[in-house]
């Protein structure tokens, strides 16, 4: 088996919608890389998706990835809902447009470049990778707020 890149992702939002941030910790052969960013007006779900997209996009070649998230929305979306959304032309079972379809499509594109295994962890329970991703996401919130002070 090839070496696995471990990725821990998280999103944060102060108000929903409101200023938000995303964070990701990438670990490969003991080397760590931190990524983060934010937006002035967004939602928690959009930040969770953005964290996964940006982390996977950072990988320059196809990789085996273990992506750890505390977002059931992201994990269930990728593992359960996405195939049917695609079959229905990005509509829900109730024939409504899929929320955040732009980001789901970007995430699907990134996932298709790699061999991704999804793992869910409960947030804020002391999981080291998840706690680091949470700190990075909150750093993104702070920067988003700072950039939009009038």
User: Residues within the annotated binding site?
Assistant: 10, 48, 70, 134
Count of structural domains, the chain: 1
User: Residues within the annotated binding site for Mg(2+)?
Assistant: 10, 48, 70, 134
Q: Which of 130, 139, 135 is nearest to 27 (CA)?
A: 130
Q: Does residue 94 fall inside a structural domain?
A: no
> What pTM, to 2 d.p., does this model score?
0.95
For residue 122, the enclosing domain spans 5-75+105-148
Q: Report residue 1's pLDDT band, with 50, 70 and 90 as the boundaries.
A: very low
Residues 6+ apart with CB under 8 A from 147: 38, 40
CATH number at residue 61: 3.30.420.10
Q: Does residue 120 fall inside a structural domain?
A: yes
Q: Does residue 85 fall inside a structural domain?
A: no
Give me the pLDDT at residue 147, please. Answer: 81
d(CA 149, CA 18) in angstroms, rounded, equals 13
Give the pLDDT confidence of 77-127 residue by residue, as tens digits: 999 999 999 999 999 999 999 999 999 999 999 999 999 999 999 998 999
CA distances from 43 to 11, 65, 121 (A): 9, 26, 20
Q: Does residue 18 fall inside a structural domain?
A: yes
Q: Does residue 89 fall inside a structural domain?
A: no
Q: Does residue 23 fall inside a structural domain?
A: yes
Q: Report residue 2's pLDDT band, with 50, 70 and 90 as the boundaries.
A: low
70 is catalytic: yes
Catalytic residue of the set 11, 20, 37, 77: 11
Q: Does residue 19 fall inside a structural domain?
A: yes
Catalytic residue of the set 20, 38, 39, 70: 70
What is the enclosing helix (H) or strand (E) of 46?
A: helix 44-58
Give the pLDDT confidence of 14-70 residue by residue, as tens digits: 998 999 999 999 999 999 999 999 999 999 999 999 999 999 999 999 999 999 999
Q: Which residue has the tokens 């024939």?
A: 95
Catalytic residue of the set 34, 102, 124, 148: 124
114 is catalytic: no
108 is catalytic: no
Catalytic residue of the set 20, 77, 134, 140: 134
What's the CA dihedral at 106, 45, 17, 33 to 10 degrees? -80
Residues 6+ apart with CB under 8 A from 28: 3, 5, 6
Q: Does residue 130 fall inside a structural domain?
A: yes
């Amino acid at each position: 088996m090839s070496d696995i890149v471990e990725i821990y992702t998280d999103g944060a939002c102060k108000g929903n919608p409101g200023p938000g941030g995303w964070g990701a910790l990438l670990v490969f052969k003991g080397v760590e890389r931190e990524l983060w960013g934010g937006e002035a007006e967004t939602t928690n779900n959009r930040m969770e998706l953005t964290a996964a997209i940006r982390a996977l996009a950072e990988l320059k070649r196809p990789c085996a990835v273990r992506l750890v998230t505390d977002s059931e929305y992201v994990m269930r979306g990728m593992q359960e809902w996405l195939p049917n959304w695609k079959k229905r032309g990005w509509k829900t079972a109730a024939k409504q447009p899929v929320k955040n379809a732009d980001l789901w499509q970007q995430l699907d594109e990134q996932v298709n470049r790699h061999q991704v295994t999804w793992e869910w962890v409960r947030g804020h329970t002391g999981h080291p990778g998840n706690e680091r991703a949470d700190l990075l996401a909150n750093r993104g919130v702070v920067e988003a707020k700072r950039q939009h002070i009038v």
